[in-house]
Amino acid sequence: MKPKKVIVSWSSGKDSTLTLLRLLETPDYEVVGLYTTYVGDEVPFQATPMAVVRAQARLTGFPLIEIALPEVFPPNAVYQARVVDGIRQQMPDVEAVAFGDMFCNGIEAYRRRYIEPAGWSCVFPLLGEDSSQLAREILDRGIQTILTTIDTSQLSGDYCGRWFDAELLRQLPHTVDPCGEDGEFHTLVVSAPCFQGSLQLRPTGIERQERFHCLRYQIFTSD
């Protein structure tokens, strides 16, 4: 059968990177691009500047669709319409949309409710898999990623700016998901097997908000 043309929901973090790698290894799909939603000039929660997301996309070699949102939590109808219209207008030959969701917590049904009526299938390469095993796979594959946002209501802000590595996984409290899938932390990938080159990161400080701590940094591309 002819592979389906799939676009990957790209957050700039480890989950979407692992999703892309998995899809590149299967003959069932042909990755044709990435898409990112943003507010202002950043990806919400990740706090990743769009300039950095664009640099990541260049390293993957795939085109990036940028979809602006009016606010971090727009009404569902607004969010869904923006995503569908953005993909349809900029990449009309897409047949499937892939997400890096891991937990079976209703997110799959939510995604399907607006993706499938648009005529596309939903793909969830990581859904339902054990978080500890996925965390080890991320490390084993050589995905280099740093914790850029911490929800201090769930994890100490001291973890902000730490590398996602074996030592960090050993030190995480048992109440924290190894992949941060409950929103405890978000990450930025600087190097991966799907990158042609890497991002060199120079931290400039930590922005400490009331609840969230965000790493601020400068990025340089190394080809």
CA 46 to chain centre: 8
Q: What is the pLDDT of residues 7-28, one digit of tens each?
A: 999 999 999 999 999 999 999 9
User: Which is the CATH superfamily of the domain at 4-123?
Assistant: HUPs (3.40.50.620)
Count helices and strands in the chain by DSSP H and E runs: 6, 11
**Other C-beta atoms within 10 Å of 163: how many?**
13
The answer to whether the beta carbons of residues 216 and 78 sit under 8 Å apart is no
- Does residue 223 have a pLDDT over 70? no
Collapsing DSSP to helix, strand or coil, 189 comes out as strand
The answer to whether the beta carbons of residues 127 and 177 sit under 8 Å apart is no
Q: What is the pLDDT of residues 47-97, one digit of tens each?
A: 999 999 999 999 999 999 999 999 999 999 999 999 999 999 999 999 999
- What is the spatial distance between Cα 30 and Cα 23, in angstroms, rounded to a whole number? 8
Strand order in the sheet with 198-208: 185-191, 144-151, 212-222, 198-208
Q: Residue 142: what are its φ and ψ, rounded to 5°? A: 80, 25
Q: What is the pLDDT of residues 144-202, one digit of tens each?
A: 999 999 999 999 999 999 999 999 999 999 999 999 999 999 999 999 999 999 999 99
Q: Provide CATH 3.40.50.620 ranges for the chain.
A: 4-123
pTM for the whole structure? 0.96
